[in-house]
Structure 1
Amino acid sequence: MMSRQAVFMRQAVDLGYVDEWHIWNFARKDSDRAWLEREFGDARFVLTENDSLDYVRFSAFELARREIGVVAQNDAHLLFQMTNGECIEIVFGAFSNTRTLLRKFDHVGSYGLHAEPVEVSNLALRPGVENVVVLEQEGDTVSIHLNGEPLFVVPGFARSDSDILVHTGYGSQGIWRDASVQQKIRLVECGKEGFDGFSLAYAHYASNLYADNLFLKLDDDIVYCDIEMLDDFFAEIARTRGGNIVSANVINNGVCAHYQAKHGYFPGLPLEFEYPLQGICGSLWESAPMCATLHDYFVDHLPQIKDKALSGPKLFELPPLDRFSINFVGFKHVLFAYMQAAYFAAQPSMDDEHLMTRVVPKLFNVEKSIFAPLLVSHLSFWKQHETLDVEKVLARY
């Protein structure tokens, strides 16, 4: 499904409509994970949590020189293995970011927290910005640098086929990347799935690092986007007050379909699109035949529908407390703070769509609207997907 999205999002980035595209890897199938790695693996980001001390895989050592960027407030741990089996751990910004430690362990199984360091440096992390760590095999030693300053020299050879492992913890979240690759498209790995992964994503962007940005959140099965209207979409978000939510004009979205039909988008189409009760489910949401017919009509009449979207009302205001499918929505940074509060106020397993479109508006008087000039197409809801001929629909796009 994302193969269509990859085309238009890469175009959007190349043309400057979107500054960065972050793809969060919540894949449920090995084949999907493999596809994401093939498409976007050159620019992986690894997110490490502020309350976990478990090491996660960053990458293989592979090259004689590795440049690793890390943003963390303190305690950025990095572990790799030497050919003699010895494990090397570096703790950047230990002890409230006052020093950096080098630890050695006989083998992976002997690794332990709070082991005594064999060397200590007074160099520490620069908080709030990216720090560059360089690991370099130079002859029969591995040298370690932080932000251009030498830290430690370890005798021996690093195992090129072993993994570089990382973690943060101790109240510090970490963002790790290959600093030798400057990419605007990034695959984000966090080791979480489902509701836990979604809540971690919202928490990540609540950081002050992103305070000046505008955001677009889109589902993996958005298969068409009129990217020439993205600038206008972001301009509308910039004009909104506070954490108000702006949706694109989504094909195959029950609430959007009601407004589209009401304003004459589908002349001659023998379908009724009622407003779903409280914005939830509805006849389109559950019907694969309606979904397929709507996609066919949209592809066959795209120029006419574009004209209607541009010539009709610019905004459709939505009922404040009704649910709305957030297939393709934009907002300012403050919404992430609202989402954090909503996660705290609601059950931990509550889905992000309910929180964003029902809980947040109730707590913070957030308004929702549909920006009519930006047309996008959403492939299917899970109920439609059960019997939908997905390949046939995708072929139309």
Structure 2
Amino acid sequence: MQILNSYVRKAMAEGLIDEWHIWDFTRAPSDHDWVTREFGPVRYMGDNVGYQHRGSVKRTAAMRIGARITNDLHLALMPKNDPGSFYEIVVGGWNNNQSVMRKLSRAQITDFDRSQAPTAWARTTPGVLSPGRVNDIVLNIDAAGIPDLMVNGVSVGRWPDIVLAEGADVMVRGGWGGDLELTDANAPVRRYIGNPGDQMPYFQAYQYYAKRLPDFADALFLKCDDDIVYVDLDGLAGFIDHRRKNPHYFVTSANVVNNGVCAYFQQVSGALPTSLGHFERPPGGFGGTLWTDPDKANNLHDFFLAAPKKELPLPSKVVDWQERQSINFIAWLGRDLQHMALARGDDEKMLTVDLPAFLERPTAIYSDFTVSHLSFGPQEQGVDVNRLIAAYDKLMREKLAL
């Protein structure tokens, strides 16, 4: 993904892309830690996501947070002078009716179960969080080191028994049905964290944007897999322009190396020689021998890497398509988010089969914009990942003059 990172940041520097939203659906803690280090700040968190760092508060600088959340806003105050414990403030818990504070050990920061944790402070706060606005959260430490909290201009609590003379780091999360969006996290590159442990989690991203249709209706979305290892930046502007000027397509795919449907058309056009094997038309656009055969994938990558020109033209500049296709790199128009509040399930089938059929709109593949996709799941045991990543990294550095 570091290769993709380099391409996208170059595209942003050249004004081709305005924002990059990294959706963290990682399953391994080490992958989550890497994404957290590389990208930020966090903008959105599902209700089952653990605490994320937000910043710090001290006597000379209050912390102000803009938060969209319906209930159970959790703030963790990590005292600078007490590395063993933290204070947890829950705002609008119990169906947005009560707020509490607890003192907990740092070891409990990842634990959601508070059934045995004592409550140090509690207050009835009916309707403290508003679902109809960005909640204005102000956390302050006064001159004596005592913290206090205001929400939407109302004092929620002040805790004179707590002295944070050296300040505190602050972490945040939602919980119990309360997804958290930090509306003041507006950096061009920012993170969105889906709920962990879901085997088909991607509906969370589509629903996020669909619920915010007015904010994104005029945008153009580029969605890509995390293992895109080559991006033809010279062709990206043409791809974007074609997508804008052809709204009758529901989604448009880039011309993808290691994609069954694209490989079929690449061979039909003569761009892939028969010496690489037969790239058949996948039945219904799904599966096929390339999808399952790592040797075919290795050979295809090697052929592309060795080609003087990094292009595999299709039979025509635009190929209309009526069947399923892999969504390794696709584009859609923001106005079509009105159709994209997807249910949990196979997002690829919904985007390229079910919705186009329902709306009576085709999809397309655009020939003059090439990207390379490292591997599909069934290929992974045999694809020469380390060698190919090294080769694509070398190509990226040549293309971007790094």
Q: TM-score under structure 2 normalisation?
A: 0.78
What letter is aligned with 2:171?
I
Conservation of the 8 A alpha-carbon contact between 2:69 and 2:174: no
**Cα distance between partner residues in 2 of 1:149 and 1:44:** 26
Structure 1 residue corresponding to 2:206, chosen from 189, 192, 202: 202
Residue by residue, what CA displacement relative to the aligned partner does 1:117-162 show, whole Å, maximum 9, x if unpaired? 3xx699975946x555342333312244567998764433359677
Q: Does 1:278 align with 2:276?
A: no
Consecutive unaligned residues in structure 2, runs of 5 or more: 105-113, 393-402
CA distance 1:304–1:182, shift in 2 (3 Å): closer
Q: Does 1:378 align with 2:358?
A: no
Partner-residue secondary structure (3-state), 2:201: helix
Consecutive unaligned residues in structure 1, runs of 5 or more: none
Residue by residue, what CA displacement relative to the aligned partner does 1:196-226 show, whole Å, maximum 9, x if unpaired? 5211111111023322221111001110101
Q: What RMSD, in angstroms, separates the aligned Cα atoms of the two structures?
A: 3.6
1:186 matched residue in structure 2: 190
1:297 positional shift? 1.4
**Cα distance between partner residues in 1 of 2:199 and 2:49:** 21
Partner-residue secondary structure (3-state), 1:79: strand
**Counterparts of 1:278-357 in structure 2 under 5 Å?**
278-303=284-309, 305=311, 308=313, 313-318=316-321, 320=322, 322-340=323-341, 343=343, 348=344, 350-357=345-352
Residue by residue, what CA displacement relative to the aligned partner does 1:44-68 show, whole Å, maximum 9, x if unpaired? 233234xxxx684132765425645
Partner-residue secondary structure (3-state), 1:285: helix
Conservation of the 8 A alpha-carbon contact between 1:133 and 1:146: yes
Residue by residue, what CA displacement relative to the aligned partner does 1:156-197 show, whole Å, maximum 9, x if unpaired? 335967763432667x643126x4x65211122232344452
Q: How many residue pairs were aligned?
A: 368
Conservation of the 8 A alpha-carbon contact between 1:89 and 1:104: yes
Conservation of the 8 A alpha-carbon contact between 1:121 and 1:151: no
1:390 positional shift? 0.5
1:228 positional shift? 2.8
2:68 matched residue in structure 1: 72
What letter is aligned with 1:260?
Q
2:173 matched residue in structure 1: 166
Residue by residue, what CA displacement relative to the aligned partner does 1:348-391 show, whole Å, maximum 9, x if unpaired? 4x321122122212222231100111110000111221111111
CA distance 1:193–1:29, shift in 2 (3 Å): same
CA distance 1:55–1:183, shift in 2 (3 Å): closer
Residue by residue, what CA displacement relative to the aligned partner does 1:64-103 show, whole Å, maximum 9, x if unpaired? 25645444264462333577976433349x97xxxx9764
**Cα distance between partner residues in 1 of 2:237 and 2:65:** 31
What letter is aligned with 1:137?
I
**Cα distance between partner residues in 1 of 2:197 and 2:66:** 23
1:329 positional shift? 0.5
What letter is aligned with 1:79?
L
**Cα distance between partner residues in 1 of 2:364 and 2:379:** 25
Partner-residue secondary structure (3-state), 1:275: coil
2:45 matched residue in structure 1: 47
Q: TM-score under structure 1 normalisation?
A: 0.79
**Cα distance between partner residues in 2 of 1:150 and 1:277:** 63
CA distance 1:157–1:19, shift in 2 (3 Å): farther
Q: Does 1:364 align with 2:359?
A: yes
2:237 matched residue in structure 1: 231
**Cα distance between partner residues in 1 of 2:132 and 2:67:** 7
1:283 positional shift? 1.8
What letter is aligned with 1:313?
S
Residue by residue, what CA displacement relative to the aligned partner does 1:5-40 show, whole Å, maximum 9, x if unpaired? 111011112222111111111122222222212211
Matched-pair identity in %? 26
1:393 positional shift? 1.0
CA distance 1:105–1:34, shift in 2 (3 Å): closer
Partner-residue secondary structure (3-state), 2:309: helix
Conservation of the 8 A alpha-carbon contact between 1:22 and 1:187: yes
CA distance 1:162–1:212, shift in 2 (3 Å): same
